[in-house]
Every structure is written in structure tokens, then in C-alpha cells.
Amino acid sequence: MLVAAALFAVLGACVKLAADRYSIAEIVLYRALFGVIALAAYAHFTRRPLGTPVPWMHLRRGAVGTAALSLWFFAASILPLGTATALNYTSSLFLAALAMGAALRARRPVPVPLLLAVLVGFAGVLLVLQPSVGAGQWLAALGGLASGLLSATAYWHVRELARLGEPEWRIVLYFSLSALALGLGGSLITGFTAHTPTGAALLAGVGISALLAQLAMTRAYALGRTLLVASLQYSAIVFAATLGVIVFADRIAPAGWIGMAVIICSGALATWLAQRRPGAKIEDPLSVNMR
């Protein structure tokens, strides 16, 4: 998840730079096209089957994930990079709510310490976010928040697909196909932009970072404990805010630096809680069937 968080921050920076040259639909299109080509080639040369026994689950995951992706690209093109990432990663808070609901429905113990770690991390998110939304940026902020809610739903689908035996590469491939369809449809409406070497390089950065980030994130949610992964997800805000300062000269208020420190501490706390005393293993509340 830490690798995915760093790569998602790089993705956000590339999207923000590319948005000066391309429409959001075009960025979604080229981001997905790179993943489809790379993963289809991987499947071909390693002789892995493209077919899936659960196509409708992939379709639901693709639809929700693509909507979340488009809203985040929209937010990242307008808001400071750290703010857009912070809003998208409220998905961890929504996942915590899903985890609590699943545990209560299954009459299992609620992992209170890990839930608290997620909430502490969200407090850090608020500290980072507070000074960063301008008066004319609330539509983009709402889009970023909606992307967080939809991302939480998509991550739940990822975990369900992994539990059914779907490999990470195929989960990402079908998601990329959904994003490709949406991006192509949107680009046919808005039109295509002529490429320049700089623009092509930025689109390549979007595609490479997105593919690697999706694979790392999918593996994290497939194999890790949901609340631990959700807590570590917040580290993307630290990476994104740092890139925002270096690349875009964003200014971070003192409360923002405190918030990033809180996020780092919450991730470390969640890791410690999840790995302490093997005999006292915290059961993953999302391991139950929530459908």
C-alpha cells in the first residue's frame, strides 16, 4: 500500500500537468489504454486466460472505479494536489464504516483499535485539507469527496474479486477496459488534442504510474487486512503534498504539516496493532460476505 500511495501521488502530479493540455476524458482514455495494452501483452506472453467466471462483478467494479477515477482527475486538475488526494482518500473513512457495519451484521467483535487508527488518520486529513480549498473550488472539492465514497465501494469489490480467486492483473485489466470505454466515449464528444513530445511524456507518466499503482493497491486489498491497508492509504496525502510543494510550489500551512505527522503516526499505529502478538490476531471484518 505504501508503494501504491507513492505511485498515486506521482499519478496525481502527472494528471495535474496533463490537464493543461488534455481534457479529463482524454486523460482517462490514455491512462486506461496503456494498462489494457500492457496487461493484455502480459497475458498473451505468459499464456494466462483472459476469461473470467464473474464478469458482472468486474463490470460493477469497473463502473464504480471509473466514476471515482474521473471525479478524482477532475478534482486534481483544479485543486492543490494534496487537497485532491486528501479528498479521494476519505475512502479509508468510508471503508472503516463498511467494516464496522459488516462486523455488527456478522455479530463479530469490532476491531476498535484499528478503527481508531483510521479515525486518527482522518483527523490528519482534515488538518491538511482545512486551509487548502478556495472559495471557487467547492465543486471540485465535492467531486473529490464523491470519488472517495465511490473508491471505497470499488475497493470492496476488489477484495470480493480476490476472495473469489481472481488474480490482481485481471482485476486491473477489466477495470482498465471499463475506463477505456468511458474515456473513449467522452473523448469522442469533447474531441482529441494534438500531441506534443511533452504531452505524450505526461500521458506516458499517467499510464505507467496508474498501472503500477493499481496493481500494488489491488494486491494490498487482496492480501492485507482491510483497516490496516485503509490506514496506510493516508500516506498518499503526505507524498502528494510533498510533490505539490516541489513541483507546483503549493504552500502548506503549519496545520497541514501537523496533519501529515498525524497521518504518518496513525499508519505506524495501525501497522503495530495489526501485527502485534500473532496469537491476538485481529480478524478482518470485511472477510464476511457483504452482498
pLDDT at 282: 44
Count Cβ neighbours within 10 Å for each residue of 145-166 and write b for 16 or more, e otherwise: bbbbbbbbbbbbbbbbbbeeeb
C-alpha cell belonging to residue 282: 485481529
- Give pLDDT, residue 65: 87
Phi then psi dihedrals of residue 130, to 5 deg: -50, -50
pTM: 0.76
Amino acid letter for position 22: Y
Identify the pLDDT of residue 134.
67
Q: Which triple of cell numbers denotes residue 164?
A: 473469489
Picking from 275, 163, 159, 195, the residue whose alpha carbon sits closest to that of residue 27 is: 195
Residue 96 identity: A
How far is it, in rounded angstroms, from Cα 113 to Cα 203? Answer: 41
Task: Provide the pLDDT for residue 32.
Answer: 93
Please tell me the predicted confidence (pLDDT) of residue 194.
Answer: 92
For the chain, list residues with pLDDT below 70: 81-82, 110, 129-135, 274-291
pLDDT for res 278 = 46
